[in-house]
Structure 1
Amino acid sequence: MSGQNNPTALSATYGKRLRFGGRSLAKNLIMPLVLLAFAAYLVVGIVTMTVPAGTSFPGPGFFPGLIAAGMALFAVLLIVRALRTPHGEAESGDESSVGVDWASMAWIILGFGAFIVLLPWLGWIIGAGLLFWAIARGFGERRHLRSLIIGLTASSLVYIAFDMALGMSLPSGILGWEF
């Protein structure tokens, strides 16, 4: 990565602890709480979903259930980490203050927005590939062609897995593929 990079990506790369002022515990608990809230939302959706009688395994709630369980597990691990991390003032030079990188946030938010709006026309493969590229760009990746190739490959594999293994079709869009 070169040029201006996302400061949070750099902190993960260099292992420096970030200082968020005197409220570091509260700020370290924001993401785990958001993950727990979204996991709870998924669980409510799974429980209240109408599943036709005779639906075989894995069923429509299986993969959302795995995602909810994974998010809950990550949230718990983040909470434990936040509670075990000392929150007093660290030694000078151990911490860096971090602000919001608005350009990075814009790439991620606009990428999701474009994905949502363009999915019916572009289809899953192209849409998810472009979403991967936009998020990678937001996190500071500057090798655009590489990101796009990885995104298109991953989205193609997911498309094939959902269609062939689960019998669920994702939007094919302009490609018009059906297996």
Structure 2
Amino acid sequence: MTAVEEKAPAPPREKRGWLKEHSELGVSLLLFVVGVLVVVDTLLESGAGSDSDPLGPRTVALVLGGALLLLSVLLTVDVLRGGHGEAEAGEDIDLSTPPDLRTVGMLAGFLIATAALIPLLGWPIAGVVLFWGATYSLGSRTYLRDLLIAAGVSVVTWVIFDGLLGVDLPGGPLMGVFGA
């Protein structure tokens, strides 16, 4: 060995485009668009304050929209000054593994099916499809147990939201069984 060891040349750095280097600007743009939509929709909606509430119901929406716009501007300034988010460094995540598109696709399919079934069959049955479909998509193969748990969770959430909290979720065929 010599006193001066030869070092292997460092691998060339990937050339990344300006947009890839500043990808957080996409989040900033999303915040800006949502903020503008909230503010514009709030201003176009009728509903002035009453005598007991001079601020009116629009105040929270305007504050939220303004906060989204402010966050958008602050994030844009930070990104343009060189700030960037840290890459995921979790020890239980292998970043070189590609995403499991089959699982994501199945989850999306069950979510879309649930949205389509709620008006037709009501939340309790559509919720069973959602909860059972999620367990199936994520790898569980104990069908009967998962179906029973999904049914229980779906009915309990429907009773809590519809019956106790007053959030109107369609009951479908179970409406007659559990009351209106």
Q: TM-score, normalised by structure 2?
A: 0.48
Q: Larger relative contact order (C-alpha < 8 A, sep ≥ 6)?
A: 1
